[in-house]
A and B are shown apart, each in its own frame.
Chain A
Amino acid sequence: MRYAEMGYHLEIDLATGNVEKVETDPKLTELYLGGLGTSVKQHWDRVPPEVKPFDDENILIFSTGLFNGTPAFSANRTVVSFISPQSELLAYPMMGGFWSAELKHAGYDKIIFSNKSPDWVYLWVKDDKVEIRDARHLKGKGALEVQDLIRDELNEPNAQVAAIGLAGENRCFTASIEQGRSSASRLGGGAIMGDKKIKAVAVRGTRDVHLADGARFFELMQEVKEYIKFRNANPIPDVMTILSGIGSPQEMVHTDEKWHTESFSWGNARNRRKGFWTEDIEKSWKSTQLSAIKRLISCYNCPQSCGALIDVENLPRYMMKCFSKLTYSMAAYVDNLAFGFKIVQRAQEYGVDGFSTPQILAFAVELKENGILTDKDFEGCPPDEDKEGRFFWLLDRLAHREGIGDILADGTYWAAKRIGNGAEEYAHNNIKKHEQLPIKLSMLDPLYYLMYATNEKISITQIEGNWPQAPFPKREQRERFVKDWPQLPDEKFKQYFIDWELRGDNSIPHFPTPPMCSEIVDWMEMLHNIDDALGLCAGMASFCLKPPYHINNYHKLISAATGMDIDRDELKRKVNRSRNLHRALNNRRGMSRKDEKPPKDHWRHRFPELEEELLTTYYTYKGWNYDGIPTRERLHELDLDYVADDLEQRGILKDGQGQKDHQEHQG
């Protein structure tokens, strides 16, 4: 019997229509856990580096994590992985919702799509029954609307459906995969689905998910439950509201948006709007939000309610979560929050990423204002003073790939290349060709520098979470914070935090020092990798301060769930293994130190020498060479000799290139 996992993959060959239920090797779970970890292994084994995003050979994996379908609170992530059309690297956007547990209960850990379908299809999985069904009649339907259409035509009200809209059908590089109240948005998973002509994946399962030691697992979950109650009743003092609780940032609950609206840079990640949050705005935004939200809702098995059912101005209802509440309004410089709620409805039906897309639209506006795009490109667009109409018009063009929209649909990096004429300067907020959170700050932050530069997520939140975003002004506050901090991997971090000050010698950019930064960033990255293997919401673990799940209880839960009996060190080793395999996969696709750069204007004050030192120190800490490629020694330690052989054969890793290599560059 397999525990926590189901032990089967569904292999779907879209070209032949062949469907296979494949038993998986339990050894892979021992080596790479599950979720992202075991998916990376599939991509490494099956997708050679020459494969381009829209090639037949680019497999698309919908993966559950090890904890989906178990009683672990907030274990509801589905990891979708593929070679991204935007970054051309391995992408793994995740969605919450209800899909992953349903797939587990149907009897599978992953669905792996290969090749392309000749015509539009959707996949229907109900326990042992797996059908590739005609979806020609669903082409053009909205990503949300089609979910109910499929449930209706199957007469399966409890089926969970992940689907694409028009943007995915048209292979827009920022097309998302939508599912109920959640979406796998980043880096173009929707485009890969569209390229393979998969309109949706519907699942329903009625099988048991087994636990190795269920009684022990429940006992541990009891502790987690009590801690969730405690944290919900006791927000962390001394940090801003949005960081004080657990769960995803509570954007649907909180109406005070002074910090977001005034601290981020809006339009095309350009300007901070200091003084934006006036009394009038506060009043109008609060009333708009409260009247639009019908109910606060959760993902599967999660006590937090981070999402909401939205009903605005008689538009079809939809569900919203997190930050897209703000991104369109602020990017468009529209001061009316109702616009935000309205355009997100349309954007979700198209199925586009709510972080990248508003920036892309603002980028187009900026190019026009600067004469790089012309009136001809904007023919038919409402006049400039109609900022709302202009954004709707641009969104329509993008999703339909019409006119200028066909170029914008590839995201700012590729669009700028195609437009030329200086447009590249305006695609200024990217890392590895991908739009980032619109934050422009003053002083270089060494921790964020490393997170932005080096993590494979290449996405908004990167890998932050357990370590506070900024030092607390007073020593007493810091001492109070560290007093009760059972989530730490090592007691020494308490001293780092106590010593970290807002100003003076012990402040950013020089403190935490590069070695300390390496330890902190490595710890936070590891937590994200664990969550992504388990299918846990980062909001209850890696992406929040003092979370219910942490490095000191994950291994106990994994042991009880799977029967593997692992300790903390063994867990670290497992995730380090998949993390290094992931890095090697991207190295094999050409990624190296040269690409590990946050946007130039991310901080006003930059320190090139310190940045180099940070990167080199961190690479050394990780066991990577000067170019950011895992050394043979590191790969050997992690039982990844086959990876070292491959990298050497390809000339990516030179024989013996390791620590010596760092010394040469430093020396």
Chain B
Amino acid sequence: MAKVRKIIKSIKVDADRCNGCRGCEIACSAFHAEPKYSSVNPARSRIRVITHRLQDIWLPVFAGGYTPTECAGRDIYTIDGKEYDECGFCRAACPSRDMFKEPDSGLPLKCDMCEGEDEPLCVQWCLTDVLVYEEREVWVDEETEGKKQEELDIGLESLADKYGLDQLKDAMARMTTKE
């Protein structure tokens, strides 16, 4: 199968080095201000340092995708004796919390890796080397028509198994009419 080149942008987070200064939040919010650099507001930042000082928790987390529904269950992690908030590591802007939402409009925020910059601003302004930007080149399978068809067949088969072929056909008919 043919391979295609893909660039994976990532920010490596060495939370053990974090001194909790929140400079990343400041730089992020300034970069994304309109006009650029005209204001600062960590509440608008797409990176947040989750902090519980006495528990020795300083955890930079980046804003990921928006989700309209919150998870049905929650996780509470304990690592090296430190208990992290439920959803502590989650990057989603979701209804369960204020994080990664514009404080005035509530619109979700998402890290865009500071498009156009050599490195995201949070990385540039982190002088304690907690955040390190990395671009990785990977070669992935090219998505062929044959592969797509194979995935569709698997999906349909599983639905037919679950609901029966007749119900699936009815559903397909309804969807076709709608379109």
Contact = CB atoms under 8 A, between A and B. Distances in A.
A285 interface: no
A73 interface: yes
B56 interface: yes
B64 interface: no
Contact of A207 (B41, B51, B52, B53): B41
A211 B36 CA distance: 11
Interface string A367-383: 00000000000000000
A17 to B, nearest CB: 28
A28 B125 CA distance: 33
A301 B39 contact: no
Contacts of A228: 127
Given A206-B103, A211-B37, A297 B19 contact: yes
B21 interface: yes
Contacts of B128: 303, 305
The size class of the interface chain B forms with chain A is 20 to 34
Contacts of B23: 73, 301-303
A137 B8 CA distance: 53
A214 B37 contact: yes
The size class of the interface chain A forms with chain B is 35 or more
A417 interface: no
Contacts, number: 94
Interface string B28-52: 0010010111111111100000011
A242 interface: no
A582 B144 CA distance: 77
B22 interface: yes
Interface string A277-303: 000000000000000001111111111
A225 interface: yes
A158 B56 CA distance: 15
A210 B27 contact: no
29 contacts: A71-B27, A71-B30, A71-B40, A71-B125, A98-B22, A105-B41, A180-B53, A181-B53, A206-B43, A207-B43, A208-B44, A209-B39, A209-B41, A211-B37, A214-B30, A214-B37, A218-B37, A225-B125, A228-B127, A295-B19, A295-B56, A295-B58, A296-B19, A297-B20, A297-B53, A298-B19, A298-B20, A303-B127, A309-B53
Given A69-B40, A309-B56, 20 more contacts: A71-B26, A71-B125, A73-B23, A105-B42, A180-B53, A205-B43, A207-B43, A208-B41, A209-B39, A211-B38, A214-B36, A214-B38, A214-B39, A218-B37, A229-B127, A294-B56, A296-B19, A301-B21, A301-B23, A317-B54
Interface of A: 69-71, 73, 98, 101, 105, 148, 157-158, 180-181, 205-211, 214-215, 217-218, 225, 228-229, 232, 294-303, 305, 309, 316-319
The 9 A-B residue pairs whose C-beta atoms are closest, nearest first, are A214-B37, A303-B127, A206-B43, A206-B103, A208-B39, A298-B19, A298-B21, A214-B38, A305-B19
